[in-house]
Structure formats: C-alpha cells, structure tokens
Amino acid sequence: MAITLVNPDGLPEVDAYRQVSIATGSKTVYLAGQVAWDADGVTVGVGDLAAQVEQCYLNVATALAGVGASFEDVAKMTVYVVDWTPDKFPLFLEGVARAAAKLGVTPVPPGTLLGVAALDVPEHLVELEAIAVLD
C-alpha cells in the first residue's frame, strides 16, 4: 500500500479524516471533481445534501476502480459544498457513512472542506476531488 494515514501528536484527532498522509508510491492519480451524477449524467438527490455526498463518494470509488485504485490509495480529498454552514455537517457525515457502508470502506484521508457560492449546475450541492498514489 502506497499511503499511510496518521494523526501526529500535537494535532487534534478528527473522526472524519486523518491529519497527514504519507505517500510512498510512484504513480499519482488526480481525479476530476465528482458531482452527484449517476452513470447517465442525471443528478442524484436534488436538494438532498446527504444523498449527493453519498453519490460523490460512490463516483470517486468508481473513478478510482477504473485506474486500479481504491480509497486506500487516496492521499488527499477536497470537498466543495454550496452555501456551507457548520449545521450541515451531520448531513455531510450521513452521506459519507452511507457511501462507506455501500463500499465497505472508511474513507478518512486528509481532507479540506470548502464552502462555495455555486458549482457547475444549480442542482449540484457538493463536489469531491481526490488525489491517489499507487505503487
């Protein structure tokens, strides 16, 4: 495995992610931001943040699998959420948990969550991008 996730002493432990990822692989994979489209380009969960987060994570998993990778290979994730406020965090975590249950993984690489004014189309509430490293 090319990625080791750690929480160094002196930094807070956060359930949703690890603070640091150490990559030792030789191939870096950059995923385009994934939105809540299904395979036909139809938005899943219009108006439902948890459903859209879930679909984004499922799409990232599909993209990773397409290049022979998985969430175990992800070194960093960035999440963009429209009109983010901290009270939306439980819905975000619900979507992550639902995706994790379907995928049988707990995706916890270092991550950044950013609030944005808008995404590519008005019905998209979240976009998720990832960087993976393979041996």
Least reliable range by pLDDT among 5-9, 41-45, 128-132: 5-9
Q: Which domains does the chain have, with CATH numbers?
A: 3-134 (3.30.1330.40)
Mean pLDDT, residues 1-21: 90
Beta-bridge mates of residue 14: 17
- Read out DSSP for 4-56? EEE--TTS--BTTB-SEEEE--SEEEEPPPB-SB-TTSPBSSTT-HHHHHHHH
What pLDDT digit, counting tens, does each position of 67-125 carry? 999 999 999 999 999 999 999 999 999 999 999 999 999 888 999 999 999 999 999 99
What pLDDT digit, counting tens, does each position of 14-35 carry? 888 899 999 998 999 999 999 9
Residue 108: the pLDDT is 86
Mean pLDDT, residues 4-9: 93
User: Is the pLDDT confidence value at 45 over 90?
Assistant: yes
Residue 126: the pLDDT is 98
